[in-house]
Structure 1
């Protein structure tokens, strides 16, 4: 039997799969595992099932030892993993694409509605106990019908978000490294444009591109200034794609109308300038947070790890 280290709490269905074939050391503490404890536990591991809160780098791989065969990330994004170092050492790295597409698209569109219809402001007003009454101009928001949604990164989640937008009567433009399938483009009536045009024509910009050096602060002061002052920005991918300080300034000065964020540059810290503003909806990284989705993610990660330990190709390999 091989030794599998799980770096955080994951659904029982995945743990049971792993334990059916191997020895499992799973972190079950209420808090995130400390770096010191993580380095101690991974010693001698043949497989690591990691969460996005853990940094998988040369230090961790050294602590695990040369017998380590696979790092199975329970996330679609893998910016927490030093993939080139894994590849150099012959360690397979995997992720969990596909299974969180619909849940994350739900959150993206939920944030679009929260931002454009000022739902967060309304909810906070009720809870504050302040007096209020209905009026023709009370908490007026913006409708979506006939408006343009610009999607940056037209992969599975971007396409799922576009389908929701289409049902609301929105027009779709997108920026992506490559053209999407013509059948899907026709279904969505989606037009590919460059980022500059997307920012200038969109009433809502929704970010779905992967995070890496090329997309760090992809949306900064210059890009926010290029958007309509009536437009909204939504980010459900990775926090560092947006320059939070620039976003706070743009929101405060009215360069854009509002924003909805599920991810942040330095999670769990949120830029204090954003916390002061009513025109931004803030969620605590809930994109994949459904029972069904988190279970499917963990099970896929477990299946990836098991496949490599059997000498088979995993279902979703990064390197």
Structure 2
């Protein structure tokens, strides 16, 4: 019987699909993230590995698993895996794209609304100092209707964010390395601008881009100085796109008005001083943390492992 190791607890549908295919399932049962050493020991006899995107699968892990045929990443990203080395060894690496799109887009819009109306800040006040009573100038926020949203990365998630933002009467502009076709832009109601124009003119910026070799610290101290002092930024893409130390300074000094971060540069740790700021919302990477999205992701990784166990090609190979 072939064996799969799951580096984290996954939805029940994942395990049931694997067991139905007569695959022996072994699951890491710890409450914290699996350590590198424990993963090394756990994959030695595994034919298949399903791993969370929070777990690093490097050359050492791959070499420790001589029978490995697939690394099925539970997440749309895959920068936690040495994909090139896996390809050298003839190991498929797959991800779970698209099924997280709506969930992440909903979280993006939710964070925009929470920032603009100071919802999290208001909740914290009610639980501490309390509500002094309604007055005309008390606890003012901003409406997002009529504001300009700049989206960095107009892939499937960015496009869904654009649709939802347009439905809420926002003006939407975007930047990414390659411009969409004119019909695509018209259908979405978005405008392509340069990166400099986006950071200079957007009232809100949403980062919905994947991590690449070119966008490390794309948002650094110099970029925050160029943004409107009234602007706010949301990051549900990848943490290292923002220089976290620089955004702490920008928020402290009022260079930008606010931020909402769901991903972090050195996840799961966050930068010193970030949690103490009132003008930032910090959430624990919940972009696709819905029953619907996680079940769909669990189905993909299980189906891919089952396919490989039957000598068929899996879907969503990222290291072809």
Establish whether residue 47 from structure 1 lines up as the match of residue 48 from structure 2: yes
Comparing 128-137 with 156-165, greater Cα deviation is found at 128-137
Alignment RMSD, CA only? 1.3
Task: Tell me what 2:305 maps to.
Answer: 305
Q: How does 1:1-319 map to 2 (within 5 A)?
A: 1-21=1-21, 22-65=23-66, 67-180=67-180, 182-319=182-319
Shift of 1:129: 4.1
Shift of 1:179: 2.8
Q: Which runs of 5+ in 2 are unaligned?
A: none
Equivalent residues of 1:153, 1:209 under 8 A apart = yes
Equivalent residues of 1:2, 1:23 under 8 A apart = yes
Shift of 1:311: 2.1
Equivalent residues of 1:172, 1:188 under 8 A apart = no
Equivalent residues of 1:7, 1:50 under 8 A apart = yes
Distance 1:127 1:3 in 2: 50
Equivalent position SS for 1:281: strand
Equivalent position SS for 1:5: strand
Distance 1:181 1:203 in 2: 25
Distance 1:89 1:214 in 2: 27
Distance 1:88 1:117 in 2: 51
Corresponding pairs, count: 318
**What TM-score, normalized by structure 1, do the two folds share?**
0.96
Distance 1:305 1:164 in 2: 35
Q: Which runs of 5+ in 1 are unaligned?
A: none
**What TM-score, normalized by structure 2, do the two folds share?**
0.96
